[in-house]
Amino acid sequence: MKLFLSTDFEGTSGIVAWEQIIEGNPEYEQGRRLLTDEVNAVITGAAEGGASEFVVNDSHHYMRNLHPQDLAGNATLITGRHKPLYMMEGLDASFAGICFVSYHGSIGAEHAVLSHTYNPGAIWEVRINGEVVGESGINALVAAHYSVPIIFVSGDAVTAQEAQGIAPNAEKVVVKQSLGRFAASNLHPKVACEMLKEGATRAVRNIHMMQPPQFKQPVSLDITFLVADMAEMALWVRGVEPVAPRTVRIVGENTLDLYRSFVTVVTLTRALVDAR
Ligand SMILES: [Zn+2]
């Protein structure tokens, strides 16, 4: 049984500041250790539940946060950027399940530590079929395309709640309670890892109860940007339509194509953020 792990960073217990999760800061090495332990706890627990093969896609920032030799379960590591399927690079129909590890709340969520949706410098809000979604909901587009269920989600309480719509039966492990965007009450890493391990074991054992995410067709994806320039630039991508000065829409039936267009828009609008 093969599992796909998409690993972010903000949802790790003990992480409350960008300095802990961005390369070049003294605190980054400590953050990286905390993340690695959590990823390994998920792999170890999933292996106990019966999973035998693991592909980990490092999905945070420059996507080189995990070191291959430190991973448990002889996991394959997808590392570095740029990847066409970004946080979901490597997924295909051969996987039995997906784990979202160390995920975080969407930009705009209340009491969500380090909340953002892909790019905090560009994206104000994302909606799928009218509902506000975070990264778990957007990434579910790829899961839906390949018909692979999301079986496990970890992060703060907001992350667990936001994943409810796309993966109601997934095992949700809450390792911290956010008090704001830069503060949280964190479980001791040992306690967090024990919970992650047990949760992953349960997720694999209950995998038969998990369904791939489903979206009502045709799917519409609305992106609202911080400024109108970004929305205007997004219109350069084929299939992107204007909705309001700061909002664009992509509509389609193929959820993989939709996600690809989203990634293109995110990458393109980064140019305007960097130009600031
Ligand atoms: Zn993220």
pLDDT of residue 270: 83
Cα–Cα distance measured from residue 220 to residue 170, given in angstroms and rounded to the nearest whole number: 24
Exposure string of 123-154, with b = 16+ CB inside 10 Å and e = fewer, is bbbbbbeeebbbbbbbbbbbbbbbebbbbbbb
Using the Cα atoms of residue 23, residue 135, residue 69 and residue 91 in order, give the sign of their dihedral.
negative
Distance 115 CA to ligand 1 centre (A): 8
Distance 265 CA to ligand 1 centre (A): 16
pLDDT of residue 276: 45
Instruction: List beta partners, residue 149.
Output: none
Cα–Cα distance measured from residue 214 to residue 231, given in angstroms and rounded to the nearest whole number: 27
pLDDT of residue 158: 97
Dihedrals phi, psi of 57, to nearest 5 degrees? -105, 105
Catalytic site includes residue 116 = yes
Distance 116 CA to ligand 1 centre (A): 7
pLDDT of residue 245: 97
The residue to which tokens 């997924």 are assigned: 91
CA 220, distance to chain mean position in Å, is: 20
Contacts of 193 (CB under 8 A, 6+ apart): 37, 38, 40, 41
Dihedrals phi, psi of 115, to nearest 5 degrees? -60, 140
Which of the residues 61, 116, 145, 208 is marked catalytic?
Answer: 116
Q: Calculate the alpha carbon distances from 170 to 31, 166, 179, 208, 231 in Å.
A: 26, 9, 25, 11, 34
CB 57 within 8 A of CB 40: no
CB 45 within 8 A of CB 197: yes
Distance 107 CA to ligand 1 centre (A): 10
pLDDT of residue 275: 52
Cα–Cα distance measured from residue 160 to residue 174, given in angstroms and rounded to the nearest whole number: 7
pLDDT along the chain (276 residues), means of 10: 98 97 96 98 98 98 97 98 95 98 95 93 96 97 98 98 96 97 97 98 97 97 96 95 98 97 93 67
Q: What share of the chain is helix, strand, coil (3-state, %, to 5)?
A: 35, 25, 40
Distance 104 CA to ligand 1 centre (A): 6
Distance 242 CA to ligand 1 centre (A): 26
Cα–Cα distance measured from residue 64 to residue 85, given in angstroms and rounded to the nearest whole number: 16
